[in-house]
Structure 1
Amino acid sequence: MGIITVYHGTPDKIVTPTYGLGDDKHDYGRGFYLTEDFELAKEWAVCRPDEKNGWVHKYELEVDDLKILDFQDRDVLAWLSELMKHRDASDTKRYRVLAEKFIKKYGVDTSEYDVIKGWRANASYFYIAKEFVRDNIDMDILEELLSLGGLGIQYCIKTEKAYSKLKEITEELCSVDYEEFNNKYNRRDSQARSKMRELVDSDANKVTKVFSTLI
């Protein structure tokens, strides 16, 4: 695999990836988030409703000696379990009790990995997670739902070793126009959610193998 090119979309012109920083409540917990998709990075740079232009920082990541957990190679329930570790899909007592059991049964120990790779749970994908824990989505359509959005795969840099393998190509810093790419982000998200609702409401969703029955 060698070296891969990845991008970080952000409102900030100056970014210093630092081990130990980040938000525990992001999809895969604390870490530095990147994508191989330059166009998606532009959208993610301006996805907030603050009308500020953004920036895309370009990096090279040397991956040969890194342990990478790719959730696309795992059962989709493992990915949902990872989300549940960091983000609340519901604030009910029922959810808290069932989520703990679900994570214990389907979760992956990510502590031995330098990098986590998987879907980005923005508004559309988190809609799936919320509907799933409400027992409104059958497991048999979960993977198809995740393929509908085209909403992006992200990398999360987790360990000191992984941070040491990340190098910014500073001369290729790119500015992002808020209006153009915020509109693209919202349009992509809206279209994805519409397709997802259509599938959830279709006969393909048998609503038999649901969240509470899988524990």
Structure 2
Amino acid sequence: MSKIRLYHGSQMIIEKPEYNGGKIHNDYGQGFYCTKHIELAKEWAVDEDFDGYVNTYEIDLSGLKILNLNDDKYSILHWLTILLEHRTMRMNGPVAEDGLDFLKKHYHMDISGYDAIIGYRADDSYFSFARAFIANSISIAQLERAMYLGELGEQYFIQSEKAFSKLIFKEYIEVASSDYYPLKKSRDNKARSDFNYITKSLDKEGTFILDLMREERENGTSL
């Protein structure tokens, strides 16, 4: 079925999402971020001292050009590259700088022509794993494990004016901070715990960003 229900957690009621609104340094750039999981949207909606709302929409996906980053033909490095190209982060040392250049060279995707994108949502706490990977501190397998442990869920990124025009507001649901902030905080604490656990162990058989760069140099060809 081409019609699906999407949820957006916010401290505002948003009956008509604004095209070209939102922050430009979010995961996939400027657009409107939603999820099919209402419980996750409720966590996004609140902060420690603020209640929020889950805005509910219906969208007809027929006729839209959609990039699904969870498709088997893409790897976690495609997702990571898009993330690093849009989010701002400090490059800690030459390995990280060269690592980012390597990812852009081999895994860059032009997403400007898509109406919507489906992919992982990188909570701020889990963005530390992205930094650790390009700094050569964790392997690809450890990065994938971190995303799996985080249970980040899929997000739907509404990007084009055409996709915005298909969003139909249905209702809003009030969300109490006292109910959902503890869950949000627990997810953040789990991310920190996972980071400490994963980065303490060396993946001796794993593939690191330096391994990929060395392989390119030794082969003299693109991967």
- Do 2:77 and 2:107's aligned partners in 1 also have CA atoms closer than 8 Å? yes
After the TM superposition, which residues 24-173 of structure 1 pair with which residues of structure 2 at under 5 Å, given as runs? 24-46=24-46, 48-49=47-48, 51-73=49-71, 74-92=74-92, 94=94, 95-169=96-170, 172-173=171-172
- The structure with the largest alpha-carbon Rg is 2
- Match 2:211 to one of 169, 194, 213: 213
- Do 2:119 and 2:156's aligned partners in 1 also have CA atoms closer than 8 Å? yes
Q: What's the secondary structure of 1:65's corresponding residue?
A: coil
Q: What's the secondary structure of 2:70's corresponding residue?
A: helix
What is residue 20 of structure 2 aligned with on the other side? 20
After the TM superposition, which residues 180-195 of structure 1 pair with which residues of structure 2 at under 5 Å, given as runs? 180-195=179-194
Q: 5+ residue gaps in structure 1? A: none
Separation in 2, partners of 1:124, 1:207: 26
1:60-95 Cα offsets, whole Å, 9 max, x none, are 111121121111122000011001111134244633
- Which deviates more from structure 2 when the two are superposed, residues 120-129 or residues 89-98? 89-98
What's the RMSD between the two structures over aligned residues? Answer: 2.0
Distance apart, 1:196 and its partner CA: 4.3
- Do 1:138 and 1:206's aligned partners in 2 also have CA atoms closer than 8 Å? no
Q: Which amino acid aligns with 2:81?
A: S
- Do 2:54 and 2:173's aligned partners in 1 also have CA atoms closer than 8 Å? yes
Distance change (3 Å), C-alpha of 1:158 and 1:177: same
Distance apart, 1:127 and its partner CA: 1.6
Q: Which amino acid aligns with 2:185?
A: N
What is the aligned residue count?
Answer: 210
Q: What's the secondary structure of 1:173's corresponding residue?
A: strand
Runs of 4+ in 1 over 6 A off after TM superposition: none
Distance apart, 1:207 and its partner CA: 7.4
Separation in 2, partners of 1:17, 1:64: 20
Distance change (3 Å), C-alpha of 1:176 and 1:23: same
Distance apart, 1:105 and its partner CA: 1.1
> What is the percent sequence identity of the aligned residues?
38
- Do 2:24 and 2:30's aligned partners in 1 also have CA atoms closer than 8 Å? yes
Q: 5+ residue gaps in structure 2? A: 214-223
Separation in 2, partners of 1:15, 1:29: 21
Provide the TM-score with structure 2 as the length reference.
Answer: 0.86
